[in-house]
Structure 1
């Protein structure tokens, strides 16, 4: 039998084993020690013999990632599946291979590559996504835009996303749903991301990507994009115009307002409605006459409602007669908006009229608006009811919005702190959300306490608020220096 050894191969004891053998035969060696030495000798013999047969073992680090290898497969489905699996696996070392795969000739593969890149939070992935916004395939660009925004919000695209976008826009043509997603205060996007989104918004050859880019610029709170957003608000594409208006309402740069007044005369009813709301949010006082005419004369109920919402956000004392009339409307939405507008107008003489309306009000949403207005006008005995509204499934969002607005005034903040010990965990959590956007150094101690709350969601939101406050402080210090 061939042992695999050459004729000249000799097996020998390892160095020192001869002396151990002599010890084994010595009469003075204890029996227990003889057994131990005998086992050691046998082990050495086996290891010496094994070295003849076994070659060097390669290091694991020398192996190639099989998924990265699959990205170069001649089969399209294999390459697409590899990209998908890399995204699910989260192996950051594969990001360069994904970036290179953006050159793949198959749109299907490139779409999966962009989705995979969207799951990584690192510069290499961001650079690759910036490149993908210029892809020749419209769906790849849509996904790249979504992934760039998701880099900051955590909301990343998934398979089927582009199809959902197209269907959703068809459904939303007569019923635009405002998207309130936005990054936390103190978080700023890479200027290259803003530039890429502006470019995507301006390139209407991929209209879905343009719409998504407009929405993303609002989500990322990009004041640098305001001029381009004003231009897109005048787009002949209804949904792009509306996304741009919604973005401008989020960014709240009042310089955009005058450039939107002409849209109050738009032939597109939906654009006219959204423009009415946006100029109000941007406190564009020159729009007041047109808004009042829209509210009083337009035959369409939704348009009148939008015009009144604009007047309510504007909060101009000159509109008080219109707002008080709305306070007694048969329309519950008109009553709520009338109250909001009176609260923002800041005239304490309206308090008796609002209290009278509140005592007769049956609708919960309108009541909440009246409680907000009275609190805004200095009647603090309504604050507890407003805070309690945070715990409502139906009206919690409205209560949160009102409290964020009220606590923009630093003197109002301390009035919220006693409610942070509420027995209702939803109230505690949503108050933390309010402080994400308005908290200052006086909020740190109560939030530190809530960061150890027994409710995990409350503790998490308290930590989020603390991060936002510290980020604002760092930003202010940098600006002063």
Structure 2
């Protein structure tokens, strides 16, 4: 049964209520939902913990807008009762209410709030599971590792996506095989992209994840190829040089930009073949792409990059000219 069909409990008692609440109480119980919602906003803006029971009560209001307002305002109050109520509200019949509750749960800061979230990772509804994992990601709680690892096999892509986020933050090597599998084979492009990015915490050798990342450089979705270039550059894997070089000819400039950045991060080891390929990017119409190419040319630390960088020092874009001057300093210092 959704919260919208549950009869609201009795209003919190007004005995010993402060003056503000005494004034607002008639409007908080008004027959007009708009009046109730506006009164709830005023009540929440007082930021008085004594008023939280009224916000919790409003999660059971017959009007979805009032319930959504209450769910959003409860982000500022983190205690066991509030977290449990918000987790329950993830089952609300109205999407706006569920989204407001999920957003508030994503604002949690205290590890002690995780108990209800951990239980919700096994909930029957995918939205609840995904929202719980999203909130757990922000807490970076070790206890979230096992539920997130299990969720990599969830039937719903939204749940797998949030599980990848948790594991990426926790950075435990036991997660790498599962993440590598998703990076190369998941049917959802968003999940593949997230998994490719999460692999960036792999050990310096990166041997276990390199095949998955190389597969990702050939992914049908350009966003996955872009993320693959970024992760390969971050890990500085020598075996990634040729695939990154190939990505400089990608049809999407965003991919070419990340590939150029990654080639620069690989450093001087592959400078001789990298310099001509990076130099070709200086004719691109997109200034940010030319800028990344110049930065990468400087990072090659190879004298063969000097002519191209000197040319870039006359680029019409001031940011390109600026990084060209820095790159010249790097190259001339060799």
2:7 is the counterpart of 1:84: no
Q: CA deviation at 1:309?
A: 4.6
Which residue does the alignment assign to 2:24? Answer: 67
Give the 3 Å change call, closer, same or farther, for CA 290–80 of structure 1 in structure 2: closer
Alpha-carbon distance between aligned partners in 1 of 2:220 and 2:72, rounded to the nearest angstrom: 46
In the superposition, relative to structure 1, how do residues 282 and 129 fare at CA in structure 2: closer, same or farther (>3 Å)? same
- Cα 1:270–1:314, aligned 2, differ >3 Å: closer, same or farther? same
Distance 2:273 2:63 in 1: 63
Rg larger for: 1
CA contact (8 A) 2:180 2:199 kept: no
- Is 1:193 aligned to residue 113 of structure 2? yes
Q: Structure 2 residue aligned with 1:211, among 130, 136, 140? A: 130
| Superposed displacement of residue 105, structure 1 | 6.0
What is the rounded CA distance, in whole Å, between the counterparts of 2:232 and 2:84 in structure 1?
40
**2: CA distance between counterparts of 1:200 and 1:145?**
12
Which segment drifts farther, 237-246 or 272-281?
272-281
* Residue in structure 1 matching 2:88, options 131, 134, 156: 134
Q: Residue 234 and residue 148 in structure 1: after superposition, are their counterparts in 2 closer, same or farther (change >3 A)?
A: same
| Map of 1:115 onto structure 2 | 72
Show the counterpart of 1:268: 187
Residues 331 and 244 (structure 1 numbering): CA distance in 2 closer, same or farther, change over 3 Å? same
Pairwise CA distance, 1:191 = 1.0
Match of 1:291 in 2: 213
Q: Is the 8 A contact 1:313 1:341 kept in 2?
A: yes
- Secondary structure of residue in 2 paired with 1:203: coil
Q: Deviations over 1:164-192 (max 9, x none)?
A: xxxxxxxxxxxxxxxxxxxxxxxxx2113
Local SS of the residue matching 1:133: helix
Whole-Å Cα distance in 1 between the matches of residues 250 and 69 of structure 2?
Answer: 53
Which whole-Å CA distance do the structure 2 matches of 1:234 and 1:240 have between them? 9
Query: Aligned pair count?
Result: 281
Distance in 2 separating the partners of 1:299 and 1:137:
37
1:226 pairs, out of 120, 145, 150, with 145
Q: Give unpaired runs (5+ residues) of structure 2.
A: 1-16, 313-317, 324-334
2:238 pairs, out of 306, 310, 317, with 317
State the shift of 1:133 in Å: 1.4
1:96-136 deviation per Cα after TM superposition (whole angstroms, max 9, x unaligned): 44255257463644433223333x4x556x74244321245
What's the CA shift for 1:248?
Answer: 3.8
State the 1:316 CA deviation: 1.2
Which secondary structure does the structure 2 equivalent of 1:75 belong to?
coil
Shift of 1:231: 2.6
For the residues of structure 2 that align with 1:339 and 1:279, how far apart are their CA atoms? 21
Of structures 1 and 2, the one scoring higher in RCO (CA 8 A, sep 6+) is 2
* Residue pair 1:261, 1:287 contacting (<8 A) in 2 also: yes
Mapping for residues 239-258 of structure 1, pairs under 5 Å: 239-249=158-168, 252-258=171-177
Aligned CA distance change for structure 1 residues 285 and 343 (closer, same or farther; 3 Å): farther
Structure 1: stretches of 5+ with no match in the other structure:
1-59, 152-188, 386-390, 393-398, 400-481
- The answer to whether the aligner puts 1:366 opposite 2:281 as a matched pair is no
Give the counterpart of 1:106 among 47, 57, 62: 62
Q: Distance in 1 between matches of 2:211 and 2:20?
A: 72
Match among 145, 159, 169 for residue 102 of structure 2: 145
1:76 Cα deviation from its structure 2 partner: 6.5
CA contact (8 A) 2:196 2:216 kept: no
